[in-house]
Every structure is written in structure tokens, then in C-alpha cells.
A and B are shown apart, each in its own frame.
Chain A
Amino acid sequence: MKDVDRTTKILLACGVLAATIIPLFIKARFLQHILVMVVLYAVLGEAWNIIGGYVGLVSIGQAAFFGVGSYVSSYLFVEYGVNPWIGFIAAGLITALFGFLVGLPVTRLRGRYFAIATIALGQVMKVLFENWERVGAATGLMLPLGKEGLVNFQFHTSKLQYYYIGLVMLGIIILFMRHMEKSRLGYYFKAIRENEDVASAMGINRTAYKLIAIAISAGITGMCGTFLAQYSLYVEPEYMFNHNISVTIALIAVFGGTGNILGPILGSAILLPISELTRAWMGSTGTGIDMMIYGAFIVLICVYQPEGLMGVVRNIQARTKAQVQQARRGANV
């Protein structure tokens, strides 16, 4: 990475170190919960980023994949006693397959037709699971309490373990995306985003690459579903297929900035604490004021920060670079 200068590297290293060490000293369960949500949504945001940011297919139905993944592992666990880690892998594979299958017809659509199709998909999946007796219909599934430990993917005394599992997931996905950005796959994705028709004319099989992107994104999102199922130890349609999950995922990406690795992490690190805190402070009153603030916040972001935080960072970088160049030119004269 030549384009990353030294200070950025040091800052990133500090960030990684802080993300690993500081949580060890956080004992309040609620703060731990916020940390878990931040890493979970950072991973979800990255998964969204693969299709939304790199390929340019805006999905507002990620909850469909999320819910399917959570149900796969939970059903396997409740019915057959399959270890959640195997369920975790299975959720990833099955959701990826599911993403591939629904992607087959949907990748033909563009822009807002695609976005609305993903909304439709999310709603259809929710209704189907609400009425599917086999997986508990509207009441969902309760995961039986097991022995605490990494093997069982269940921790009762502290939430920190979940945080570290999430952090490892985030680390893996960041490495994957770093690799993807520099690979042929990443360039194909970006080519499709910039101009689908031209990309296709250059010999890129757009349908195939869109499908690959959707499958990867869906698989990761499904694994996140398993993660939340293990975290809350129950799954129900209203919770796992909630439309707000889809909106929040897309919003994180918008807020942080799309098409780069850091954006969704930044977005999640800022947005999730705000949303969890307002919910904790005002959500219990049942007046909806927490969601009111959340809604207003979305509007404000879209109006005043539509390029995302990474857009701001880039602007500052461009400005300093210009200043440096100007200074140099001045020195030469």
C-alpha cells in the first residue's frame, strides 16, 4: 500500500490496538452491548459495501439474508443439536446459496428497481417465516441454554467474548476486502459500478460478477445473523427480519462513506452508539421519541453529509495536498 502514508498507518495501528485492549477494561454490561453492536454492524456494513459500494447495487433488504442465516443455525441447533459453529458455517453457505438463487432473476434490475426488489424480498421473507409453523411461526425459536464457552458459542457472564468474536470476524472481512480491492474481482466490481454497459462490452460477465458479489455479501450477512442469534439466544421473524435492520445497514454505509473499507467501520462506530443510547434513554417510555430522533438523524445525514465521513476525510486530504503543492511551488519560484 504505497498510497497510505506513514501517519495513517500509525493511526490505524493505534485504532486496532485500542479496539483490542480498551474493551478489556469496560465492565458495564450496557457498554459491552454497544461494543458488540458496533462490531456486528461494522461487519454488516462491510458486507453491504461489497454489493452496494463496490458493485453499486443498492440493497435495502439485507435483513432477508440476516434472518435466513440466523434461522439456519438456530434451527439446526434446536432440532438436531448441531454445534453453533457448524451452524455458523452452514448459515454462511446456505445464505450465500440463497443470495445466489434470488440474485439470479434480480440482478437484471438496475437502480431503484433493484432497491425496491430487495425491499420486497425482505418483506416476503418476513411474512413467510411468520407463517412457517416448522420454525415456530411468529413466536420463533428459543435457543436452549448450554454450557458457557467458546465451543458452544454461548457466554452468559460477560458480553466481551462476543465482542472479540465479532472483532475477529471484522478483521477477517477487512483482510478479505483489502485483498479483493487489489484483485481482478475488485476491479471488475468497480467497473460494473462505474458503467455496467461499458464493463459488459469490455468482456466482463456482469451477471456472473453481480451474483458473486451478492452471494459473498449474503453469506457474510447470514453469518452475522447466526452471531446475533447466539448473542440474544432467540430468533423471531419480527426481530431478525426487521426492516429497520436493512435501513440501518444501508445508513451506516452512507454515513461512513461507500466504496472503501474504512467507511462502514467509521459509520458503525458513530451511528450505533447514538442509536443504542437514545433507545436506552428514551426507548423504554414507548413514546417512540428515540426513533423520532433516529429518523431526524437520517434526514440530517442525507442533507448535510451525503458523501459520508470518508468524503470529508478525502476533502481534507485533497486540500492539504493542494496546499503542500502550492507551498512547494512557492518555494521553487
Chain B
Amino acid sequence: MYLQLTVGGLLLGCIYGLVAMGLSLIYGVMGIVNFAHGAFVMVAMYASFWLNRFIGIDPILSSPLIALLMFFFGVIVYHAVIGKVLEGPFLARLLVTFGLSIFLINCAQFLWSPDYRMVENPIFRGIRMVGPVFIEVPKLMASIGSLIVAGLIYWFVRKTKTGLAIQAISLDRMAASLMGIDIERLNGYAFGLGCACAGAAGAFLAEFYYIFPDVGTMFGLVALVAVALGGFGSTEGALIGAILIGIIETVGGFMVGSEFKYALVFLAYLVIVIVRPRGLLGWGAD
């Protein structure tokens, strides 16, 4: 039983991990805690839903396209809003994405009503027996996809020139600027990449999850907790934190009742940051 739950939590954790990675990337580069990240996931879920409805592409197959679209969406959001508050006071930087999130969620409600929707006839469905555990195929595909995208992002940030420049900014903005890195442009790319993570995760989630305007809020909050758990500024930490949370959510939810599962996740956050005020692998400023 617990093996079953742990596997379920692990699969969920991988998807959370992708969302959390985007959040961590954005935080690491520009110090913005993106409370609108869940809303980005929601936007991506709707995008893949409509793509499926009108063109008939399966959400998992459309995920690269969605990620690309969300990348451009993120770049636009950065230049329209985020870039303008980077120099502002702490509170403004904290609240701006709250506003963005409220705006996007209610935009979705305005455009598409608060109804629950679901992708019809997804390619991957059903449950397979793997060894002693049952595995939901769409969830498995979604978490494999998440790991692949996470790997790609990791490779991009660590190995390409642009990625290295992004890393340089997160290490020392001033020095990076002096080295001739165009901070504004690369911040935009980093924000776009973060959004692309949310986009890919949203497309994967659309395969098997209900879609409604408020759907992203919990994903965003959980991802945020995952990032804080892992420590702000640490991408690997975000992934570890997310997997931990996936497991806490499913196993803990089973033990104390599923209505308490998110309370449990937040409690876990409180306990861990009290023991380690900067998360498991965190570094840098507060």
C-alpha cells in the first residue's frame, strides 16, 4: 500500500518539480517570487485544451508548442510588467505577481466561465500494473515528460552560452553587466524559460486533470513551497523539494485524510524552514 502511495507521490512530485524549477529559475535570476506561476500553469492548460478541441492535438504531444508559446508569453509579461518593478521596494516586487495572478485567473473566468473542463479522448489513459504497483499511464507519461523538460532546461542553463549568461546574472548582476551581458534581454529570456516550464507542466497536466480558472493556484502555491523547501536559488533543491512534497501529499493525505493534504504540505514547509531557515539547499540573500 505504502509503496503504491509513494510511487504515486513520486510521479506527482516530478510534475510539481517542473513547475517549481521554473519558479526557482525566475527567483534565482531576478529575485522575484512569482505568485502568478500557478496562473501560468492554468493558462497553459487552457491553451492545450483549446488546441485539443479545435485542432485535435493531444496535450502531451502539443507540449513543446505550448512551452514555446508560454516562453513568448513570459518574455512579453517580463517586459510589460516584471522588468519595471525590479528596482522597486520589496513589497511591490512581492505583490506585483499577486496582482498578475488575480488578473489572469479572472481573465480565464471571464473568457471561458468557471466550468470544469476535461480533455476528451487523451491518447494516454488507463492504469497499468507494473510489478506490485498500479500506475496511471497519463500520470506516468506526464512525469516522464516533466523530467525530460527539466533535463533540457538544466542542460540549457548549464551548457549553452545564453544559459551561462543567465547563471552569471544570478551570481552577480553587476559583474555580469560589466562583462557585457545584456541584463534586460536575458532577464526576459529567463522569465520566459520559467514560464515555458509552467507551460510544459500545464500541457502535461491537461492530459488527465480537470481544467478550471482556479486550477493553478494550488500548483503554484505547492511549487512555491517546494522552492522554499529546497531553498530559494537552488534548482536541484526545487526538484528535491517538489518530489518530497508529492510524497508528503499522497502518503500523508492517505494517513490523515485527503482534506488535510495541503495543510500537511504547508506544515511540512513550516517545520523545515524553522529547522533550516533557508531551506534544504538554499543560499544567498533573504
Interface set of A (CB-CB < 8 Å, partner B): 52, 58, 60, 105-106, 108-113, 115-117, 119-121, 123-124, 127-128, 130-131, 247, 250-251, 253-254, 258, 286-292, 294-303, 306-307
Q: Mark B97-112, 1 if CB is under 8 A from A, else 0.
A: 0111111111101100
Q: Does chain A have a CB within 8 A of B277? A: yes
Closest partner residue, chain A, to B213 (CB atom)? A288
Contacts A131-B260, A298-B102 given; does A306 touch B266 at CB 8 Å: no
Q: Are the C-beta atoms of B88 and A302 separated by less than 8 Å?
A: yes
Q: Are the C-beta atoms of A295 and B104 separated by less than 8 Å?
A: yes
22 A-B interface contacts by CB (under 8 A):
A110-B286, A111-B286, A112-B33, A113-B232, A115-B33, A117-B273, A120-B269, A124-B266, A247-B102, A286-B114, A288-B107, A288-B213, A291-B105, A292-B103, A294-B99, A295-B104, A296-B103, A297-B99, A301-B92, A301-B99, A302-B93, A303-B92
Q: Are the C-beta atoms of B274 and A127 separated by less than 8 Å?
A: no
Bound Cα distance from A105 to B271, whole angstroms: 9
Bound Cα distance from A6 to B108, whole angstroms: 51
Q: Does chain A have a CB within 8 A of B225? A: yes
Closest partner residue, chain B, to A251 (CB atom)? B95
Bound Cα distance from A298 to B94, whole angstroms: 11
Bound Cα distance from A301 to B98, whole angstroms: 12
Most chain A Cβ neighbours within 10 Å, of B33, B93, B101, B266: B266
User: Is the contact region of chain A dominated by helix, strand, or loop, or is it mixed?
Assistant: helix
Chain B residues with CB under 8 Å of A130's CB are 259
Q: Are the C-beta atoms of A116 and B269 separated by less than 8 Å?
A: yes
Bound Cα distance from A116 to B88, whole angstroms: 20
Q: Does chain A have a CB within 8 A of B224? A: yes
Closest partner residue, chain A, to B232 (CB atom)? A112
Chain B residues with CB under 8 Å of A287's CB are 109-110, 113
Q: Does chain A have a CB within 8 A of B124? A: no
Closest partner residue, chain B, to A116 (CB atom)? B228
Q: Are the C-beta atoms of A112 and B103 separated by less than 8 Å?
A: no
Q: Are the C-beta atoms of A108 and B277 separated by less than 8 Å?
A: yes
Q: Are the C-beta atoms of A303 and B85 separated by less than 8 Å?
A: yes
Q: Does chain A have a CB within 8 A of B96? A: yes
Q: Does chain A have a CB within 8 A of B91? A: yes
Chain A residues with CB under 8 Å of B260's CB are 127, 131
Q: Are the C-beta atoms of A295 and B267 separated by less than 8 Å?
A: no
Chain A residues with CB under 8 Å of B278's CB are 113
Chain B residues with CB under 8 Å of A301's CB are 92, 99
Bound Cα distance from A110 to B89, whole angstroms: 16
Interface residues of B in 224-280 (CB under 8 A from A): 224-225, 228, 232, 257, 259-260, 262-263, 266-267, 269-270, 273-274, 277-279
Contacts A254-B92, A302-B96 given; does A295 touch B102 at CB 8 Å: yes
Closest chain B CB from A236 CB (angstroms): 16
Q: Are the C-beta atoms of B106 and A295 separated by less than 8 Å?
A: yes
Bound Cα distance from A291 to B214, whole angstroms: 13
Taking a contact as CB atoms closer than 8 A, the residue among A105, A115, A286 that contacts B94 in the complex is A115
Contacts A58-B90, A292-B107, A295-B100 given; does A124 touch B263 at CB 8 Å: yes
Q: Does chain A have a CB within 8 A of B81? A: yes
Interface residues of B in 110-164 (CB under 8 A from A): 110, 113-114
Chain A residues with CB under 8 Å of B91's CB are 52, 58, 250, 253-254, 258, 306
Closest partner residue, chain A, to B82 (CB atom)? A303
Q: Does chain A have a CB within 8 A of B221? A: yes
Bound Cα distance from A217 to B106, whole angstroms: 31
Q: Are the C-beta atoms of A306 and B263 separated by less than 8 Å?
A: no
